[in-house]
Amino acid sequence: MYWECTAEKLLLPLNKTILRENFARLAINKIGHTPMWLRIHSNKLYCVVHPDFRRSEYRLKIYRATHYIARLNRILNQGKLSLQNGTDWWSHHSDWVKVPTGSNYPPVFSVSGAPGFDDIAGIPFMSFSDRISVIENAAFQRLKGYSKYDWTNKKPAGFFHGSLSDCGRAVNEYAGNINHCARAKVVYHAKLSQNPLLSGISTISDFRGIGLNEGCRICTGEKLLGDSFIHNLSRYKYVIDFAGAGNWSRRMSLLLRSGGLILQSEKSGYQFYEYSLEPGLHYITFDPQIGKEGLGNLLSRLEWAQKNDEIAELIARRSQSFGQNCLTEASIDYFVSTLITKYSKYLQGNPIPFPIVDLSSCVSDRKGRSKLNKICGALIEKCWHN
């Protein structure tokens, strides 16, 4: 029901009418990060080769596209989809939204969505199916039933440990002022405060190394991967989410499975699974107060959580239940199937007879994901040549 509801909401701006003749009219450079025009015909996946494709004009990350293509082929091979021929859509793989509301573009599926933009957040990011995710999933599986990480045994402190991936604007537009980077300012002031509630907050980035105007040696720790990151994450009651290089974060899907209370920095972007989550039910928001010194209201949120332990645990259990049940590969496949099925019913007119490339051989066996790019890369490259 959650996925049915989410798919309906994501497609609401389409007004249930999509003319196929409009797909050729997209100004491709406007979504120029790994742009793909995809088509399903006779239950097989193809890309459509637009005559205006100019490969040199776009930023291409084929490894992102391969995970999306492999997922679509796996769903089609299961034989559970019954779609009309010529189910077409555009997609891009940028961290940022690209399609302003009112731009009259054909539908564009993307990694994220945001208010004021018509990008349909219908592409599961590769972090659900890449090699790192396999390691993380295995780590979570091993922790099941491990009482050491039950709520009562978790450390009553906030946890964040990651890169300062949101500091590009602070560096480029504000001369490296850390107050314009949410991650940096929170890590910096958390370390200076020496408050036990903030003791799990740190970064793997060097402040001056990325162009910030303040240094902070005590802020930086070693990089944690796989088992190490999941174990550290699971030790804390309060886990913190910031937007990253885009206006969303990869780590949110991990936090939802951690069993901790999520404190999410206010942001406009969302991924497909976040769209129907609600603050106060699945997570608590905080305002880092970009541009000002200090932690924003993060500390007061943590103090509230500490004083209201039963409520905090209830929210944490609810989000963990969602993460464990709804963010499995099978459940995400169901979401993608549901979204495309509903979407296909809105299409009208005849498919445009541009050249197509058969992508059906790009399939992951769920084990050899590190080789997926080798299997699919050359094939997908053909989608950008005319």
pLDDT in tens, 304-323: 999 999 999 999 999 999 99
Q: Which is it for the CA torsion 183, 186, 189, 195, positive or negative?
A: negative
Torsion of CA 378, 379, 380, 382, to 10 degrees: 90
Q: State the CATH number of the domain containing residue 222.
A: 3.40.50
Instruction: Find out whether 220 and 205 touch, Cβ atoms under 8 Å.
Output: yes
- Grouping H, G, I as helix, E, B as strand and the rest as coil, residue 134 is helix
Q: Give the domain-ending residue among 305, 329, 353.
A: 329
For the stretch 343-352, pLDDT in tens is 999 999 999 9
**Chain segment 346-369, per-residue pLDDT in tens:** 999 999 999 999 999 998 765 545
- pLDDT the model gives residue 366: 55
Residue 20 DSSP label: G
Domain total for the chain? Answer: 2
- Report pTM: 0.93
**Do 150 and 99 share a structural domain?**
no
Q: What is the average pLDDT across 96-106? A: 92
Our CA dihedral for 321, 325, 329, 331, rounded to 10 degrees, sits at -130
112 and 135 in a common domain = no
Alpha helices in 235-371 (DSSP H): 252-255, 298-307, 309-326, 329-344
Same domain assignment for residues 212 and 81? no
Q: Provide the pLDDT for residue 219.
A: 96
Using one digit for the tens of pLDDT, what is the confidence trace for 139-161?
Answer: 998 888 777 889 999 999 999 99
**23 and 78 inside one domain:** yes
Q: Which residues contact 348 (CB under 8 A, 6 or more apart)?
A: 17, 18, 19, 20
pLDDT band at 84, cuts 50/70/90?
confident
Q: For residue range 163-217, what is the model confidence (pLDDT) as tens digits?
A: 999 999 999 999 999 999 999 999 999 999 999 999 999 999 999 999 999 999 9
- DSSP code of 257? T
If you average pLDDT over every residue of the chain, what do you get? 93
The reply to whether 92 and 145 lie within a common domain is no
What is the per-residue pLDDT for 11? 95
- In this structure, the number of other CB atoms found within 10 A of the CB of residue 233 comes to 26
Task: State which H helix or E strand residue 375 sits in.
Answer: helix 372-381
**318 and 374 housed in the same domain:** no
User: What is the distance between the alpha carbons of residues 325 and 327, in angstroms, rounded to a whole number?
Assistant: 6
Quote the tokens at residue 366.
């769920």
Length of the chain: 386
Q: Do 92 and 161 reside in the same domain of the chain?
A: no
Q: What is the pLDDT of residues 326-346, one digit of tens each?
A: 999 999 999 999 999 999 999
Query: Could you list the residue range(s) of the whole structural domain that residue 22 is in?
Result: 1-129+330-383
Q: Measured between alpha carbons, how far is residue 241 from residues 186, 204, 229 in Å?
A: 11, 15, 14
